Structure 1
Amino acid sequence: MTGGVQPRPIALEAYPGHLARALIGQISYKSDSVPRDPRRLQQRARMLERLAASLPFLGPLGAGLREQMIEDGRGDAIDAWLCAIQAAWAAIKGPPDWGTPEDADPQEGWICSLDLKKLLEPTA
């Protein structure tokens, strides 16, 4: 970049479990040891349905991608999607705080994630 100020590098940390819990609670949705568990497959499908209902601006997933996320018993595909959503949320919020909650300790790390409950609250 010539003639301007070089932007300060930042790092964003995403944690898919945070967003997953907002969608389905404490229910397990993945496993390394039992990748074909139908209950977990159902939870992954439920997560995608709730994401689509909660965040319609994401647009529809292609059928192949949606199926890959549901069929991936280890959860890598859906975890990547959840992290991408968290990173996009922080990028939309932008500098200087990247969506950090007001009560966040500036000396501590923070997981960039949207608060679905707060996001979906009706405004007065």
Structure 2
Amino acid sequence: MQPGPRSSRGNSTRHSRRPSSTGGTDRPLGVTIICGLGILGILVSFLPIFQLLGIGGVAATIALFLFGLNIAHLVVIIGLLNMSATALTWAYVFYGIGLLFDLIMFNLIGVLVSGIILFYLASVSHKFT
């Protein structure tokens, strides 16, 4: 046998595994957009939370609760970015509760946004590990 330029596996596997540009995860673009908008929403919501803290009393207690929810939401978003199935479950909980509140408040746009996010996450749920 003569050694040649081909490997023993042939040329068919040479380009079959390329690392993804997102650090090895095949994250759908929609999940990235949801996470980006979620982070933006978290940052924007800190201003009213800090204003409530400045009032003191019961308002400060409410502000601390909202601060905790924001931190939990941030943890869920980081988990979604990492394509964690546990984070997906918690995302269903957070966006489902948001949908319920939007229904109670008759916020049609909020209902549509939460519903679209829930539907989209359910449609790509097979990609989470």
Higher relative contact order (CA 8 A, sep 6+): 1
Larger radius of gyration: 2
TM-score calculated relative to the size of structure 2:
0.30
- Greater fraction of residues in helix: 2
TM-score calculated relative to the size of structure 1:
0.31
